[in-house]
């Protein structure tokens, strides 16, 4: 019995170039990061995760509301990317000129 001739093309087809796939993934990650940092620049605050932006939370009994301690009843928190931007800006201002 003669082996099928498609085995040679099957091996050639599975030996693809993974470098281009990784390049696209890195490019997509950089585009996402640039978009996230731009959003952090223009909208530095997000909703508080503890109170979901309301500024209040239920008491332990569940009957009354109390001010949210995490956001100080403002309902907003500083985004992680904005913390990074503020840190880099402070380091830039601190360097000698």
Any domain includes 12:
no
Any domain includes 26:
no
Any domain includes 60:
yes
Q: Residues 44-58: pLDDT tens digits? A: 999 999 998 889 888
Q: Residues 39-96: pLDDT tens digits? A: 999 999 999 999 988 898 888 888 888 899 899 989 999 999 999 999 999 999 988 8
Cα separation of the two ends of the chain: 80
Q: What total number of domains does the chain contain?
A: 1
- Rounded distance between C-alpha atoms, residue 75 and residue 93, angstroms: 30
Q: What is the chain's length?
A: 97
Any domain includes 1:
no
CA distance readout (Å), 51 to 26, 42, 74: 35, 23, 10
Any domain includes 37:
no
Residue 84: give the domain boundaries: 46-97
Any domain includes 92:
yes
Asked whether the beta carbons of 73 and 67 are under 8 A apart, the reply is yes
Any domain includes 97:
yes
Any domain includes 54:
yes
Q: State the pTM of this model.
A: 0.63
């Amino acid at each position: 019995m003669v082996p099928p001739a498609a085995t040679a093309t099957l091996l050639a087809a599975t030996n693809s170039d993974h470098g281009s796939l990784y390049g696209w993934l890195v490019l997509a990650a950089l585009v996402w990061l640039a978009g996230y940092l731009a959003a952090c620049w223009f909208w530095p605050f997000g909703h508080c995760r503890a109170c979901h932006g309301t500024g209040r939370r239920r008491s332990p009994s569940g009957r009354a509301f109390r001010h949210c301690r995490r956001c100080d009843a403002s309902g907003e928190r500083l985004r992680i990317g904005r913390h990074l931007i503020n840190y880099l800006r402070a380091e830039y201002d601190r360097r000698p000129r």
